[in-house]
Structure 1
Amino acid sequence: MQIRQLHAKYGAKLLKVWDEGTWPKRKLVGEGGTSAKRPPTTSSNSPEGSKNQEFPVFLLSVRIIKANILTSRDALTSSDCYVTLYLPTSSLEKFRTQAIKDSANPVWNETFYFRIQTKIKNILELEVCDADPVTKDNIQFTIAFDLEKVWPGATILEIFSLKPESDACHYSNDDSLEVEFRLSELPGPVEHFVSNCVLAARELSILNVKVDKELNEKLLKAKKNVVLTVQESYEGTQKTTKDLNSFCFHCIKIWGPVLKVKLQNISCKEENDSGYSLVLPLKFLPEGQEVNIDLPVKEASVASFNQFSPLMDTWSSQGPQDLDVRLGYELCAEEQDFLQKRKRVVADALKKLFDLRLDLLEDEVPVVAVMATGGGCRAMAALYGHLLGLQKLNILDCVSYITTSSGSTWTMTNLYQNPDWSHKSLDEPIKAVKRQMLKSKWDIISIERLKYYHKELVERAEMGHIPSFTCLWALVQEGVLHDGANKNKLSEQRAALNRGQNPLPIYTVINVKEKLVSTFDFREWVEFSPYEVGFLKYGTSIRTEDFDSQFFMGKIVKKLPESRICFLEGIWTNIFSPNLLDGLYWSSSPEEFWERWVKDMVESEDNNSYDGYTIYKPPSGAGKFCKIFNDILTDRPLKEGTHNFLRSLDFCNNYLEQKDFIYWRDTVLDTSPYKLTPTEKSLCLIDIGFFVNNSGPPLLKPERNVDVIIALDYDMSEVFKQIEMMAKYCEVQGIPFPKVDPTEEDRKNPKECYVFSDDDNPKAPILVYFPLVNCTFKEYIAPGVKRTPSQMSGGEVNVGPHESPYKTLNLTYSSENFDRLLNLSTYNILFSKDRILQSIQRAMQKRLNIRPRNLNTSSV
């Protein structure tokens, strides 16, 4: 074998070899080409908490051999093909072969080496490209190949057919690309990582560099600065300034990070990978020790300086065991502790409510939750009335969770400023919110307010938050709901939970793609509580006070101060990030919407069967036009941007086999890990109403084991619509949930309360559903108390879709309209007392049936 050139790049541990000879022929998998055997695979169907593991590192060789019958897409020139390789679990750099000119059957025989971890899902992306000296190079085909098919000790030859639309044999010799893979274990240290069997955090190298202060000052006077680059670190490139001469870089350890240093004119804006006077692989530095390094400086460029100038380096490897994210589907320790305390409060309340002679044991206490939809100020005001009704019935102390979305979140953020709110009269909070609803809103666009908005936004940007229109909306919203700045923070609501004295509030949004993908093809539930912010799907959470800090591989790389709660409210009620495609979906009827969504989901799952590799062919001219049109439909011009705390976490090699991940699957992109959220720099969080206006998903988490859901629906357009959507969603996802089956009479003349249950499925919660309707309240001022003629006007509450004073965009109510909506909500709860109590009693009895005991309950 004659080697013409050898080039080592430390970041990916990649060697690129041109071989002028021929390689030994390898047989296909299954034809006895190697005696190596695939190691048995293991999987866990119920991921528990995070596990600290260690595994050997492997060297993967990828030999790009040749391609057959490649036709140029440019009619004026012949094919000048080359192949690019991209493996982001080993390197962020994209590598490429030489371009073979004027050949339909190019032969490369070039080999690339990558260090990989086989316990991670490694998908190699190969692009077959046609070089064009005039225009942008054409990508002819893209191949996504799962390296799980390559096991240690084996040599695998893959012949990729480049006819994805045909039914040709997998190993066709026409229009094909031949690639050989070999995998061998590397001697030396193993890699440590922590995983929950879905996502994994890997071991980091952390490099601290300090430029001599005196040197930095001299360089700045000479209009020069020091440029430091660790190419594949989170930070990338950093430069010295007047106030900055110390730097930190975070990089995955097995990638073999390299520090590059050079001097550059301050006015130079170009970033290039040349002119570095120092190239230093971290592996040559003693770990954990401070090292002084001389930086070579050309006297011609800085004549007044010595020939060498000092840098100070220290680096260390940081294991993943002390993560700033929590990897695990179980409830966090704080929530588990809260539930123990809350169950004692609930047990006492149930004992009084049902006149029990014996105390309930912990596992006999049913978990009752309140679930509220969005609806702007209407939802906020009506939720106060509903909670007031539950408090009057002594049922509020039986509730363990309250979940909200959009406008109903405003009620909870106001109430939880008081650590004992559920045991205090709600009269004062209601008076306070009524005053805000009655006041003029013109002040929110005054000159003073605009100056305040500008000052706040500038300060947030300087701290490191991503500027967005949502931040401005949050400040405007604060002006609508408060007289001044609301200094409260979400983590401060823990004071209202430390004795289990109130239900645990959970605020719900969805994460979507910023562009190219519609909400209905990709959406992931995200929940906010005073303890944590987390993705239900990935089993990954962070402490609430760390939200919007900058994360890399599960570690905080830049801690930002916790945002005031008004900025979180701006996210929870982010109504400015829909795309045009969302509008097209919602313009259809509910039946058309669900039929289309379910059909799309089934077809997408059928078309995304994963057999180890996938071929993607770029669109034709007509296809490109469709792509441009799709970009217009799916772009979110006023999107919100939040630092992604999942950033760079890797998927475990068997993540698709995990029950919890599949159970919460909310996207058709599951088999493409490079397209999922951990690869994104930022999150795009929007109002939950742009998919299903329902805050229920956190309550359906199996670990919460919710028995009764009191569903409060503030939709005025169509009764049952939101709860039917939730039931249909659960049916498609395989989540236990009762069937919602109202009669035609119920749809025409809805009542105050409905109870839905599934006796055949003990895991399904009992649903006590409250639509926003004005039924018997028209004639009764209180349950059993008829209105006098002078009181009839108080029962005139228009909560229908036409000419209603409670429309979502209405931010100001009259005193009479506010009182009517509040009283209606309270009445509907009081009127439905028996149904609520019967549902709780059924749930309690269901738990008692597991271990029968006679509590001598009185009948409800």
Structure 2
Amino acid sequence: MSASKLQESGDVRIAHSLHTKEEEFVVKRREIVFQSLQKHEIHCSQNKVPHIALLSSGGGQRATVGLLECLVQLDKAGLLDCILYLSGVSGSTWCMASLYQEPDWSTKLETVKDNIIKRLSGPGVSWGDAFAKLKKYYNGKDFFSLTDIWAAIVVTTYMKEIDEHTLTDKWSQLGKDPFPIYTATDKQSKQEEGGDPWFEISPHEAGYSLSGAFVETSNFGSQFDNGSKKKHQAEIDMLYLQAMCSSALADGEATWKWIKAISVPEIKSVFDKMEQDQSGGNASRTTQEPVGEDECYQELLNPVDAETLTLEQSSRTKLTDLFGGQKQFGQTADKHKKTARCIAQRIWGRNYNFLHNMTDESVPAALLQKETRDLIDAGLLINSPYFSVLRKERNIDLIIALDYSDGDPFTTVREAAKTCKKLKIPFPEVNIPSDEGKKPKDFYVFEGQNAPTVIHIPLFNVVNCGGKPGDWRKKYGILKGPYSAEMITEVMGVAGKNISNNREKLLEQIRAVAEAK
């Protein structure tokens, strides 16, 4: 069966070529890139237009607003139309989801930005609406996991909306915006040898970036057997997609304890409000016993018996109460036990494995065996979506990597280089002076033969932070939030300088790759 017919059939596609609709989009977008280059007197033939990818790391809400302002500044610099692909991890996908709600957002970015900031600075989603959405997930899916809870409670708290659009219904191949790629990590592949942990979701396909195994995005989440769809499930919505891409707690008890230490007040307030909802909104701290920090977390950290998959009766009762009780949901006790089990075992992002029961030697055997796969925050592996754009068939010449990570601001590019060397994927050498780890500059260029040029831009640096980037990283830790209007403005101001201060350097590198091509 030809690639195009296979795509139309809804069956699994095993191939390294791009989806035909992505190929069609690239042709149209290259024309926009070509016209933009001409304005900057960067001359090249139309069939030699450089492919430029903008990558944005995870980093909570600072990644969300930082990416937004960097795009605004790229637009003001006349460089946004040079970008072919936009790919994000974790908090950056929150920004992307907001942008792509608006068709052709790149042609009216100031207005789109103002609308997003107004929402982020305004009132949040009501708890009634959040729990109503949680019930929809609970009743409407074959697999209910902590990602559904994360979507309805955490993502809505930060993004202040319930986005029920799907990726495919908000996209047109005639769009004038960069091609979006959302990224996640296959948890099982991350933990075991022999898999492919890099998972991408675009408007047309979802699947494993390096293995070349994909399914139509509209069918992602449906049940497949031996490459053919067996049972259809509705396409995941953008709220769930954002949660899946940003599930920072999904990888082990150590992460939970780390979150507990950093963000107890925020998480504690969630549990307090849950209690108020349970009592009809009349609960008060004077009439009810306060919920202690340890109690809030204990229900999620309680050990589970690996053989019987049982919880203590008190935990089981509390977790059942969390979802409104058996009568409210009209579900059986088995389903409540299933919910308690997913919490006790920390099941995140569970979906049907569209590769289940296939036999194909080009796909790692580990991906073919289980009926389900768990998809989690890609930032738990490498906190930047390098492997979505390093697919050979995307022919990327220049990567502009915006880094909003906590800790060492060079971890993402170092880990990408290390992994590429192991997998024999072309990538430049990454050498950074040892004294710049805590005090990075605002612009780094890494070049190599037969490899894409990589520009690395740390958010907080000695140029835009008055020589004290560490103070800024502490003040705006990735788990701080939701941000006030003042905090949003401050982070955006810093992020924007990384583009406006380096406009000529960016142009220089774009010109260099255009001439080399």
- The answer as to 2:28 corresponding to 1:341 is yes
2:355 alignment counterpart: 646
Q: In structure 2, which of residues 163, 176, 188 is the aligned counterpart of residue 513 of structure 1?
A: 188
> Are the equivalent residues in 2 in contact too, given 1:773–1:799 (CA < 8 A)?
no
> Are the equivalent residues in 2 in contact too, given 1:494–1:531 (CA < 8 A)?
no
Deviations 1:672-701 (A, max 9, x none): x3xx12111111101111111111101111
> Are the equivalent residues in 2 in contact too, given 1:512–1:523 (CA < 8 A)?
no
2: CA distance, partners of 1:837 / 1:526: 31
- The answer as to 2:247 corresponding to 1:574 is yes
Deviation at 1:581, TM superposition (A): 7.9
Deviations 1:444-500 (A, max 9, x none): 5x3x24641443134313xxx3111211211124522455532311012322x415x
Instruction: Call closer, same or farther: CA 1:754–1:709 in 2, change over 3 Å.
Output: same
Deviation at 1:427, TM superposition (A): 3.0
Q: In structure 2, which of residues 215, 224, 241 is the aligned counterpart of residue 542 of structure 1?
A: 215
Structure 1 gaps, min length 5: 1-47, 53-193, 195-319, 585-627, 656-660, 662-669, 780-794, 848-860
1:466 alignment counterpart: 143
- The answer as to 2:484 corresponding to 1:814 is yes
Matches within 5 A, 1:399-548: 399-424=83-108, 426-439=109-122, 446=127, 448-449=128-129, 451-461=131-141, 465-495=142-172, 497-499=173-175, 501-513=176-188, 518=191, 524-548=197-221
Instruction: Call closer, same or farther: CA 1:530–1:412 in 2, change over 3 Å.
Output: same
2: CA distance, partners of 1:51 / 1:489: 23
| Matched position secondary structure for 1:738 | coil
1:689 alignment counterpart: 379
Q: In structure 2, which of residues 238, 251, 265 is the aligned counterpart of residue 565 of structure 1?
A: 238
Kindly indicate whether structure 1 or structure 2 has the higher relative contact order, using CA contacts under 8 Å at least 6 residues apart.
Answer: 2
Instruction: Call closer, same or farther: CA 1:51–1:390 in 2, change over 3 Å.
Output: closer
1: CA distance, partners of 2:177 / 2:46: 17
2: CA distance, partners of 1:49 / 1:710: 35
> Are the equivalent residues in 2 in contact too, given 1:797–1:817 (CA < 8 A)?
no
Aligned positions, number:
436
> Are the equivalent residues in 2 in contact too, given 1:403–1:505 (CA < 8 A)?
yes
1: CA distance, partners of 2:91 / 2:486: 20
Q: In structure 1, which of residues 753, 770, 776 is the aligned counterpart of residue 463 of structure 2?
A: 776
Partner amino acid, structure 1, of 2:71: L
1:747 alignment counterpart: 437
2:70 alignment counterpart: 386
Deviations 1:524-581 (A, max 9, x none): 2110001111112332211111110111111111112222211111111122321258
Instruction: Call closer, same or farther: CA 1:375–1:559 in 2, change over 3 Å.
Output: same
1:599 alignment counterpart: none
Larger helix proportion of the pair: 2
Deviation at 1:522, TM superposition (A): 5.2
Partner amino acid, structure 2, of 1:438: S
2: CA distance, partners of 1:720 / 1:456: 41
Partner amino acid, structure 2, of 1:353: H
Deviation at 1:354, TM superposition (A): 1.8
> Are the equivalent residues in 2 in contact too, given 1:49–1:329 (CA < 8 A)?
no
Deviation at 1:702, TM superposition (A): 0.6
Deviation at 1:395, TM superposition (A): 0.7
1: CA distance, partners of 2:399 / 2:10: 34
2:40 alignment counterpart: 353
Q: In structure 2, which of residues 504, 507, 517 is the aligned counterpart of residue 837 of structure 1?
A: 507
Deviations 1:263-290 (A, max 9, x none): xxxxxxxxxxxxxxxxxxxxxxxxxxxx
1: CA distance, partners of 2:386 / 2:347: 26
Deviation at 1:518, TM superposition (A): 2.7
| Matched position secondary structure for 2:459 | coil
- The answer as to 2:422 corresponding to 1:732 is yes
- TM-score, normalised to structure 2, is 0.77
Instruction: Call closer, same or farther: CA 1:557–1:835 in 2, change over 3 Å.
Output: same
Instruction: Call closer, same or farther: CA 1:521–1:334 in 2, change over 3 Å.
Output: closer
Structure 2 gaps, min length 5: 258-305, 310-343
| Matched position secondary structure for 1:755 | strand
Partner amino acid, structure 2, of 1:651: D
1:64 alignment counterpart: none
| Matched position secondary structure for 2:75 | helix
1: CA distance, partners of 2:144 / 2:358: 24
2: CA distance, partners of 1:534 / 1:638: 20
2: CA distance, partners of 1:731 / 1:645: 29
Q: In structure 1, which of residues 821, 827, 833 is the aligned counterpart of residue 497 of structure 2?
A: 827
1:786 alignment counterpart: none
Deviation at 1:721, TM superposition (A): 1.7
| Matched position secondary structure for 1:427 | helix
| Matched position secondary structure for 2:55 | strand
Instruction: Call closer, same or farther: CA 1:454–1:705 in 2, change over 3 Å.
Output: closer
> Are the equivalent residues in 1 in contact too, given 2:12–2:228 (CA < 8 A)?
yes
| Matched position secondary structure for 2:218 | helix
Instruction: Call closer, same or farther: CA 1:562–1:639 in 2, change over 3 Å.
Output: closer
| Matched position secondary structure for 1:556 | strand
Instruction: Call closer, same or farther: CA 1:512–1:809 in 2, change over 3 Å.
Output: same
Deviation at 1:521, TM superposition (A): 7.4
Matches within 5 A, 1:647-796: 647-652=356-361, 655=362, 673=365, 676-758=366-448, 761-762=449-450, 764-778=451-465
2:298 alignment counterpart: none
Larger strand proportion of the pair: 1
> Are the equivalent residues in 2 in contact too, given 1:519–1:690 (CA < 8 A)?
no
1:788 alignment counterpart: none
Q: In structure 2, which of residues 2, 10, 13 is the aligned counterpart of residue 326 of structure 1?
A: 13
| Matched position secondary structure for 1:811 | coil
| Matched position secondary structure for 1:403 | strand
Matches within 5 A, 1:35-184: none
**Aligned-pair identity (%):** 27
Q: Please identify the structure whose Cα radius of gyration is greater.
A: 1
Q: Which moved more, 1:486-495 or 1:520-529?
A: 520-529
2:319 alignment counterpart: none
Partner amino acid, structure 2, of 1:350: L
1:395 alignment counterpart: 79
Instruction: Call closer, same or farther: CA 1:839–1:562 in 2, change over 3 Å.
Output: same
Matches within 5 A, 1:11-50: none
Q: In structure 2, which of residues 42, 52, 55 is the aligned counterpart of residue 371 of structure 1?
A: 55
1:244 alignment counterpart: none
> Are the equivalent residues in 2 in contact too, given 1:717–1:800 (CA < 8 A)?
no
Instruction: Call closer, same or farther: CA 1:543–1:450 in 2, change over 3 Å.
Output: closer
Partner amino acid, structure 1, of 2:357: S
Partner amino acid, structure 2, of 1:845: E
2:330 alignment counterpart: none
Instruction: Call closer, same or farther: CA 1:749–1:322 in 2, change over 3 Å.
Output: closer
Deviation at 1:640, TM superposition (A): 2.5
1: CA distance, partners of 2:384 / 2:138: 34
Matches within 5 A, 1:614-629: none
> Are the equivalent residues in 2 in contact too, given 1:711–1:770 (CA < 8 A)?
yes
2: CA distance, partners of 1:796 / 1:743: 18
Partner amino acid, structure 2, of 1:831: N
Instruction: Call closer, same or farther: CA 1:770–1:637 in 2, change over 3 Å.
Output: same
